Amino acid sequence: MLVNEKALFNKLTQGDEKAFETLFNAYYAPLCLYASHVLSNDEKAEEIVQELFVYLWSQRNSLTINSSLRSYLFRSVKNQCINWIQHLKIREKHASKMKETALREYQEADYFLEVGLAEKIEESINSLPEKRRQIFKLSREQGLKYQEIADQMGLSVKTVETHMGLALKQLREKLSDYKDYFIGLALFKINKR
């Protein structure tokens, strides 16, 4: 690492918020631009970079970087972009298989299952604690980014991420009896009411 990077990294590992802010201000935009170029998806690029900075802060006490800090950050973003692309390919392949399976099944049975699932999803979302439900709906129904939700609700991005993770976990548990196909489809395409 360069001398300035090393000093900045050392301060970060000691919990220095100014060092973290300096690091964020120096690298956030270039990392987003890089990720956006790799993914051709600005929103996902920002999400990946935000998650990297959340990870840096949360793991600051145990983080070890053997290369330059800049190299570490760009390599981390690149790896997460590759993981996301691979995840998309797997998801598309899975969706294609599920579509073939669904076409072979009775359409009426699928229709009633989907209607029941939509009601169960709505019921499950309404059972979330109020703040968690608000955050979930702002993200999934209104398409707001975590930063926008945090700004609108006066919360930190980390708090928004935590609530979203807990909401998704709770919904997965409540909807565990339903087919994976409909859960995946319904959670990301919830009817706006």
Query: How much is the average pLDDT of 34-50?
Result: 93
Q: Could you say which architecture CATH assigns to the domain 3-84?
A: Orthogonal Bundle (1.10)
Per-residue model confidence as pLDDT tens digits over 148-179: 999 999 999 999 999 888 988 888 887 776 65
Question: Would you give the DSSP letter of residue 3?
Answer: H
Query: How much is the average pLDDT of 1-26?
Result: 84
Per-residue pLDDT band at 190 (split at 50, 70, 90) = very low
Q: What is the pLDDT of residue 120?
A: 76
Burial 32-50 (b: 16+ CB within 10 A, else e): bebbbebbebeebbbbbbb
pLDDT cut 70: percent of the chain above it? 80
Q: Could you say which architecture CATH assigns to the domain 105-188?
A: Orthogonal Bundle (1.10)
Q: Give this prediction's pTM.
A: 0.48
Ordered DSSP codes for 75-97: HHHHHHHHHHHHHHHHHHHHHHH
Query: Which range among 58-67, 76-85, 141-150, 166-175 has the greatest average pLDDT?
Result: 76-85
- Answer whether residue 188 shows pLDDT above 70: no
Ordered DSSP codes for 110-170: HHHHHHHHHHHHHHHHHTS-HHHHHHHHHHHTS---HHHHHHHHT--HHHHHHHHHHHHHH
Q: CA 165 → CA 139, 143, 146, 175, distances in Å?
A: 12, 16, 12, 15
- Name the token pair of 123: 């019921």
Q: What is the pLDDT of residue 43?
A: 93
Residue, of 192 and 148, whose pLDDT is higher: 148
- Answer whether residue 90 shows pLDDT above 80: yes
pLDDT cut 90: percent of the chain above it? 37
Q: What is the pLDDT of residue 148?
A: 92
Per-residue pLDDT band at 9 (split at 50, 70, 90) = confident
- Answer whether residue 136 shows pLDDT above 50: yes
Q: What is the pLDDT of residue 180?
A: 53
Q: Where are the domains of the chain?
A: 3-84, 105-188
